[in-house]
A and B are shown apart, each in its own frame.
Chain A
Amino acid sequence: MILVELRLMLRKRRVWLCWLLLCALPTLVAVLLATTRLAPPPGRGGAFLSAVVSNGQIFPAAALALVVPVFLPITVAIVAGDTIAGESSAGTLRYLLVRPVGRLRLLVAKLVSVAVFVLLAVLFVTVVSYAVGVVAFGFGPDASLGGGGAIPSLSGVELSPADVVFRTATTVGYLALCMLALGAVGLLFSTLTDSPLAAALGVLALVVASAAVQPLDAAAAIEPFLPTAHWLAWIDLFRDPILWADVREGALVQLGYVVVAFGAAWANFSTKDVTT
């Protein structure tokens, strides 16, 4: 079922459109910055944007900071909201279930497909924005002939290429986990309704509510448990030495969301009457 699910997903035009749009936004920003050379002043505008102009190799970090707060969650909401509700509204859910595909197995396959979607989404953004960044802004001030200039950490220490690859891979994994947590919530919502749109909007409502509550002093007690609270912790991976505290806490919270949301999806879906 998992392979079937992946093949189904990879043949959906909507999925490719999501990936394309995710890569298009950073590319647009890069083109605008490269043509105008008007980087936002340090401390304003998107994270890293001011540093990008002098070293294109930092652009993946800037691109991730651009898409993580809104764009990436929207695509995750669309894809995750579609998982069960999409099959339900298309009528294919009943045929999968009488094939038979066990309900738990179907949920697992759907979660795996969402995980693959988010992982590829983050990966595509990283790879595309690296290429775009280097083309638009070059390899940085001390680029040797043929490129490959050093990348500085936020702490001002230069990072070795192997170190950069490790930190970037960790970032991709961490962000994919954050988005998977959202995807698991989307899967839960998708079992609660037959409308993929309603499920996707539910996920977005959660993101907006969480982002609205997060800065309030009054919400300090629940702040660490909000889904959006740790989305920017990956920036700590580019400090020297790496500051693991928030990344670790974030990963645990997001894993908690995956477990709880998936458990609730299972509890709801395994005895749900399929009437579509």
Chain B
Amino acid sequence: MGDSRVTRRWVLVGAGTAVLLGAAAVTLPATASADPEDLRTRILAGLPPHVGYAESTGRLGLPEIAALEQVTALFTSVTRLRTRYAGPEAWRVDELTPAGERDTYRLGGREYVWDFGANQLTVVSGETPVRLPRAADLVPSELARRLTSLTRADPVSALPARRVAGFDAAGLRITPADPDTTVGRIDVWCDPASALPLRVEVAARGADQALLFTEFREVSLSTPEITVPTAPPGAGEVTAEAADLAGALRQLDAAPPPPRLAGRDLVPLAGGLPGVGVYGAGVSGFVLVPASRGIADRVIDGAPAAGGTVVDVPVGRAAILTTPLLSVAARGGIRRGGVLVAGTVAPAVLDQALRELPGRRP
């Protein structure tokens, strides 16, 4: 008598638990389909206004690079993002940290950055053609737009539909053709009606698992109102030029980038930052950034411990840090400074670039 009662109660509790877990894990089937080529065209045409909350996960295994911790964190950890997008010139993205947030606003040709931790509002004027990656780039819609525009010529195919943030999302896969890039595939799932990208996955060539994926957890296609932020009482307010924000990487008196590196031409940049050069196109390009000698040296010194390799160069020292997706190289000992080279290209390309860099200023 007693034993059967025991069993019956536990069966009941077990069934209840299973139902709860099932309710939590169950997802509605996804059936959406759309012509992938058409979908890509529509993504490139512009993003619809939307408000959402997204989570991005990076698993690049990149070692921490001195003075670039904020950038490497984007590729190695989970970033929580909230976005309000009214148009290319009116949006706000909040990077949510455990004990604060860093909000980037774009409005009327200006950018505003509110940092709760620093208790400071920064008003940024001007724009640079090249800048460091930031959290706002990881919002699924923005990342999809950026990546599709870098791979306009690459072949695209359809993917099975998927449920994302309550949407029945149609998928497309871009497979970069350039043999030099490390990017194996870029998968994007969109709301087929509005072409709003909801989820993006980036995987290295030959790898199964995505190393970077970002997804809306909730999103609505409403038009938000973006207003100019004001610093609360007691908080600081500063104004900065966009070019200043290169911060630690900025180097006065940097040598102009060579016109050609590792078989790739220098892409002409409007405006411009001294010493910065972009080589090649799309996901098989890389960027050259002048860095203080200190930073370059720290990267090179730390490379062996972080699984990097030391490269022999005619003058100075150099090293490459490799991850399946992103390669970062540094060269130091060039008279007064050094350079960092980074891109989603095979390490061999950066290796060649490092060797070709002139050891002395012309």
A–B contact with Cβ pairs below 8 Å: the answer is yes
**What residues of chain A have their CB less than 8 Å away from a CB belonging to chain B?**
42-43, 46-48, 50-51, 54-55, 65, 140-142, 149-150, 152, 154-158, 217, 220, 224-225, 232, 235-236, 239, 243, 245, 252-253, 256, 259-260, 263-264, 266-267, 270-271
Which chain A residues lie closer than 8 Å to B10 at the CB level? 264, 267
Which chain B residues lie closer than 8 Å to A267 at the CB level? 6, 9-10, 12-13
**What residues of chain B have their CB less than 8 Å away from a CB belonging to chain A?**
2, 5-6, 9-10, 12-13, 16-17, 20-21, 24, 53, 57, 59, 82, 94, 96-101, 103, 114-119, 121, 217-218, 229-235
CB atoms of B20 and A235 under 8 A apart: no
CB atoms of B233 and A155 under 8 A apart: no
CB-nearest residue of chain A to B2 = A271
> Which of B6, B13, B218, B229 has the largest count of A CB atoms less than 10 A from its CB?
B13
- Nearest CB of B to A226, in Å: 13
CA distance A235 to B116 in the complex (A): 13
CB atoms of B233 and A239 under 8 A apart: no
A to B CB contacts below 8 Å, 17 in the list:
A42-B100, A43-B100, A141-B234, A142-B234, A150-B232, A155-B114, A156-B103, A156-B229, A156-B232, A239-B101, A245-B218, A259-B16, A260-B17, A266-B9, A267-B13, A271-B5, A271-B9
CB-nearest residue of chain B to A142 = B233
How many pairs of residues, A versus B, come closer than 8 Å at their CB atoms?
105
Instruction: Pick the contact of B119: A54, A157, A224, A239 (CB < 8 A).
Output: A54
CB atoms of B53 and A243 under 8 A apart: yes
Which chain A residues lie closer than 8 Å to B117 at the CB level? 42-43, 50
- Nearest CB of B to A270, in Å: 6
Decide if the interface of chain B is mainly helix, strand, loop or mixed. Answer: mixed
Which chain A residues lie closer than 8 Å to B233 at the CB level? 140-142, 149-150, 152, 158
CB-nearest residue of chain B to A223 = B78
CB atoms of A156 and B121 under 8 A apart: yes
CB atoms of A156 and B234 under 8 A apart: no
CB-nearest residue of chain A to B101 = A154
> Which of A140, A224, A253, A260 has the largest count of B CB atoms less than 10 A from its CB?
A260
CB atoms of A156 and B116 under 8 A apart: yes
CB-nearest residue of chain B to A157 = B232
CB-nearest residue of chain A to B53 = A245
Which chain A residues lie closer than 8 Å to B230 at the CB level? 156
CB atoms of A264 and B13 under 8 A apart: yes
CB atoms of B59 and A235 under 8 A apart: no
- Nearest CB of A to B44, in Å: 29
Which chain B residues lie closer than 8 Å to A270 at the CB level? 5, 9
- Nearest CB of A to B240, in Å: 17
CB atoms of B235 and A156 under 8 A apart: yes
CA distance A3 to B94 in the complex (A): 47
- Nearest CB of A to B235, in Å: 7
CA distance A235 to B80 in the complex (A): 13
CB atoms of A55 and B234 under 8 A apart: yes
Instruction: Pick the contact of A256: B20, B53, B97, B229 (CB < 8 A).
Output: B20
**A260 with B94, Cβ < 8 A, contacts A50-B117, A154-B101, A271-B9 known:** no
CB atoms of A217 and B59 under 8 A apart: yes
